[in-house]
A and B are shown apart, each in its own frame.
Chain A
Amino acid sequence: MALTDTAPPPQAQPAPRKPLSPAWLTLPGLCFLVFVLLLPVGWLMALSLKPSMPGAFTMEGDWTIANYLRFFSQPFYYSTLIKTLWVSALTTGITAVLGYALALIIWTASPAKRGWVVLIVLSPLLVSIVARTYGWMIMLGDRGILNQALLGLGLIEEPIQIMYTAGAVIIGLVHVFVPFMALCVLTSLEKIDPKVPEAAMTFGASRWAVLRRILLPLTVPGLASGLTIVFSLSISSYVTPALMGGPRSGMLTTFIYQQFAVTLDWRFGAVLVTLLLALTLLVLTSILALAARMTAKWSK
């Protein structure tokens, strides 16, 4: 073959087409999340800055913080916020103690018993929320098992009212959140070299000292994630307060339901939604930051 000046230079092998970065795979999910969660929630938060008008869910009207002022000026409104906070805090505190104990029970159980113990600890999670709540109604009602037992034992003369009080809500919430706490703490406990508490004992530490000086500090990360999970689940729980706290449970979530489904004051309801979200984020970040500070020195 004759070479001519016009002959194209020998073609290099075409470079293989560069495949798309796998990062693009997040796109469909991201779009979904943006359109179904982030934008709607954002929209709702914006709606809270429009003047209250029962039945209206569009964006017309001037921007205003009147709804927020209304919420914080009336005890009837802001008391729901306070009640939500203390019920959640109490729930979280009780859950922490019980969950820690359960985590220790699982951790120290013999391998043969461990599976059963885990199943019992997880059982509240494995059961439909409605079934669980109904069970508590049977247990705690005025003519429920607990009251009948107490009456039968002669400890009380009148049935005590447990259902439809904050106490019932806390019992119901602790029951279902305790597994989360136990698992979080257990995750931390399992990272501890089992020889570490043994070492402490050989150096003369009592059981109490082992718990306080060794196990507690080493489980701060698990405890912190348990606290954040349980607290955020508590303030955002709806079904348990609605069923066990009665129609006027006075929690933020039941109040939200009332605003959107009964009163139909959606713009004011949007205030409650915004406050609930802000509260969740605030508490989550502060607990996590606190835990990070406590373990910064020794965690790798």
Chain B
Amino acid sequence: MSPYFTLFRRAGTAALFAFLLAPLVAVIIVSVNAGATPKFPPEGFSLRWYGAALANPAFTGSALTSLVLAALATAIGTPLGVAAAFGIARGKMPSGLRGLLEATFLSPLIVPGIVIGVALLVTLSTAGLRDAWLRLTLGHVLLVVPYVIRTSLAALQSFDPSLEEAAHTLGASRAKILTRVTLPVLKPAIFAGAAFGFIISFDDAAVSIFLIDSSTSTLPLAIMSYMQYNFDPSIAAISSMLIAITLAGALFIERVFGLKKFLGN
């Protein structure tokens, strides 16, 4: 392709990339700093802060909570989302209703996380439900569902109906068509949506901030509250570990489905 914007690119590309990567690189460099403060340039190489982060029960306990919570929310949200996507794509209904349903199911994406958290806190408190795990699970399922719906719906809309017709002419029952043809074809999309929902849930702070209690916290919130009183590189160490985990997850999704597809519109 001929370079339309050579000049533009030469001047700006390096600066833009530096802007995008700077904080990530800074975190990783500081995480291996031997000193007790996040100094730059670092005062020698050490992995001691990784040890410190892993030995901090506030981090390990909340990391476990976050993992279990994300897994739970994904396990509940995925079937809900897939079923809804089927209903929207396959149900006979006027197109206006279809649009409304789709918008409703994607609405958690435009409602600010902090509003979701506050609204849940207020209603559940009114109903006398004050269990942190219940609140967190409900809130995080809400985070997962739109991503599953988005990828499943896209896959269903590009699904070639003659595949099912072919299976039907070969004698497959409705149930067999679903389990042997339709779901396997949709599997990568469903899986990608679920994986993305998992990451979103794991990384969430805005929804959870009102739903945790004194004994149950998620990892991002535990780090945030640690940051209020400490600035030592153990935060950089745990952040670096998170970068590694999310990067691995993202590369995995990219392999299965292609990241761009659901980060796009």
A contacts B directly (C-beta below 8 A): yes
* 13 interchain pairs, CB-CB under 8 A: A43-B119, A44-B122, A104-B5, A108-B9, A120-B17, A135-B22, A178-B20, A186-B264, A201-B2, A236-B111, A237-B112, A238-B205, A280-B110
Q: Which residues of chain A (163-201) have a CB below 8 Å from chain B?
A: 175, 178-180, 183-184, 186-187, 194, 197-198, 201
A175 touches B20 (CB 8 A): yes
The proximity string for B residues 232-243 relative to A, scoring 1 for CB distances below 8 Å and 0 otherwise, is 000110111011
Contacts of B113 in A (CB 8 A): 236, 238
Q: Does A287 contact B (CB under 8 A)?
A: no
Structural contact, A43 and B104, CB atoms closer than 8 A: no
- CB within 8 Å of A: which residues of B? 1-5, 7-9, 12-13, 16-17, 19-27, 30, 38, 40, 80-81, 83-84, 86-93, 101, 104-105, 107-108, 110-116, 118-126, 138-139, 141-142, 145, 149, 174, 203, 205-206, 209-210, 220, 223-224, 227, 231, 235-236, 238-240, 242-243, 246-247, 250, 259-260, 263-265
Query: Can you name 7 extra interface pairs (CB under 8 A) apart from A105-B12, A145-B40?
Result: A57-B125, A122-B260, A123-B24, A134-B27, A138-B27, A198-B2, A201-B4
B160 to A: closest C-beta gap in Å: 17
Task: Name the B residues within 8 Å of A178 (CB-CB).
Answer: 20
Are A238 and B138 in touch, CB under 8 angstroms?
no
- Chain A residues with CB under 8 Å of chain B are 19, 21-30, 32-33, 36-41, 43-44, 47, 57-58, 98, 101-102, 104-105, 108, 110, 118, 120-139, 144-145, 148, 175, 178-180, 183-184, 186-187, 194, 197-198, 201, 207, 210-211, 222, 225, 232, 235-239, 242-243, 253, 256-257, 260-261, 266, 269-270, 273, 276-277, 280-281, 284
Taking CB as reference atom, which chain A residue is nearest B238?
A: A131
Closest to B253 in A: A126
Interface SS of chain A? helix
Contact between A43 and B250, CB atoms less than 8 A apart: no
Which of A101, A253, A276 has the largest number of chain B CB atoms within 10 A?
A101
Closest residue on chain A to residue B247 by CB atoms: A126
Shortest A274–chain B CB gap in Å is 9
A128:B206 contact, CB within 8 angstroms: no
Q: Is the CB of A122 within 8 A of B259?
A: yes
Do A21 and B220 touch (CB < 8 A)? no
